[in-house]
Amino acid sequence: MTELAAAKAALKTQAVETPSWAYGNSGTRFKVFAQEGVPRTPFEKLDDAAKVHEFTGVAPTVALHIPWDEVDDYAALAKHAEQRGVKLGAINSNTFQDDAYKLGSICHPEASVRRKAVDHLLECVDIMDATGSTDLKLWFADGTNYPGQDDIRGRQDRLAEGLAEVYERLGDGQRMLLEYKFFEPAFYTTDVPDWGTAYAHCLKLGPKAQVVVDTGHHAPGTNIEFIVATLLREGKLGGFDFNSRFYADDDLMVGAADPFQLFRIMYEVVRGGGFTPEVAFMLDQCHNIEAKIPAIIRSVMNVQEATAKALLVDGKALEAAQRGGDVLEANAVLMDAYNTDVRPLLREVREEMGLDPEPLAAYRRCGWAERIVAERVGGQQAGWGA
């Protein structure tokens, strides 16, 4: 197989998971701008996600967030997804929107609050059993705002204890993905602030615990691709929450702020053998002012473009330049791939997959946007509950 044919074959196997919450209303702490046609139920979110998959061909699963996507019958929700050609993906826990969690959840100083948080996580595993989801994605807003507010070490012990209980509950084929974020909503200490802390906990827990890299959760200037390379090398990269940031946790469309960074990340994924179903490529975004479904299609395409460029890096030429100490040539090999216009290649890939080569134009023509505005009248639009 030629290198181009191999790249095309790999691109056809790509899977980008879209987040249920990206289809609902969202905003900042200042204002949530409601949009017309937004889903009222998790079922309607899946209907929208199915459109993203229909036109991109590479978005076959949808992540749920509990309780935002709470339903009485999760098996029925999974069936609804399958009837529309998608499946339910990661179950995201939420221990950050209850009054009880003011001082934290799993790290809270009081045992009763920790119990409540761990029970929620265990319930998320029950939901995974019902939906067939394999990944439990954990992000903790836990932390402190003031020096002395709580015992930093004690909070780590509580975290380890709670995680261990949930880890024990995981069934065969289920895993726990631990996400880190350096600040917000806590401003002084965060209990899982960085990949090192997440990695240390996952290492102790065992093989079913892995780290999630949310691209928006780093201090400016952090070399995210280095983290990716390191975690992959250690067998501890569980997946990504893709999005873009200019300043903090902006949750903008992946590849919008820094497509070069996304390429560098995807290059390390490919280089490290991480372009496999064992690494979950998920979006974690909010579309506050732009139309949601087209924004999600655009995001999926941005991931595809970065992946295509990463797959086109001439590995042999790069290795030769690196071994020969030819700094400029090595850099040029990487930049050649980055500067390749991969859009014609991706159009071909889509045509070979039986898809329209232009997903956004095809979506706009299909009339779904008008239909949901006309049909989704009344009821309570879905939102992220803040």
Q: Which residues sit at the interface with ligand PSV, rule CB under 6 A?
A: 21, 92, 139, 179, 181, 214, 241, 249, 284
Which partner from the list Mn ion, ligand PSV, none does 134 bind, CB cut-off 5 to 8 Å by kind? Answer: none
Residue with smaller CB distance to ligand PSV, 11 or 382: 382
* DSSP string for residues in 286-345: --SSS-HHHHHHHHHHHHHHHHHHHHTS-HHHHHHHHHTT-HHHHHHHHHHHHTS--HHH
Contact 186, 144 (CB under 8 A): yes
CB atoms within 10 A of CB 213: 25
Residue with smaller CB distance to ligand PSV, 7 or 52: 52
Which partner from the list Mn ion, ligand PSV, none does 299 bind, CB cut-off 5 to 8 Å by kind? Answer: none
Residue with smaller CB distance to ligand PSV, 64 or 313: 64
Please tell me the distance from the alpha carbon of residue 40 to that of residue 25, in angstroms, as a whole number. 10
- From residue 252 to residue 291, the character string flagging contacts with Mn ion as x (rule: CB under 5 A) and all else as - is --------------------------------x-------
Which partner from the list ligand PSV, Mn ion, none does 92 bind, CB cut-off 5 to 8 Å by kind? Answer: ligand PSV
Residue with smaller CB distance to Mn ion, 47 or 251: 251
| Smallest distance from ligand PSV to CB 357, Å | 32
Residue with smaller CB distance to Mn ion, 280 or 312: 280
What 3-state class would DSSP assign to 254?
coil
- Tell me which residues in 213-252 interact with Mn ion (CB under 5 A): 214, 241
What 3-state class would DSSP assign to 379?
coil
Q: What angle (nearest 5°) sits at the alpha carbon of residue 61, between those of residues 137 and 35?
A: 90
Please tell me the distance from the alpha carbon of residue 266 to that of residue 121, in angstroms, as a whole number. 31
Question: Which residue in 201, 206, 207, 212 sits closest to 158, CA to CA?
Answer: 201
Residue with smaller CB distance to ligand PSV, 56 or 215: 215
Which partner from the list ligand PSV, Mn ion, none does 307 bind, CB cut-off 5 to 8 Å by kind? Answer: none
Contacts with 338 (C-beta within 8 Å, 6 or more apart), sequence order: 260, 263, 309
- From residue 54 to residue 93, the character string flagging contacts with Mn ion as x (rule: CB under 5 A) and all else as - is ----------------------------------------
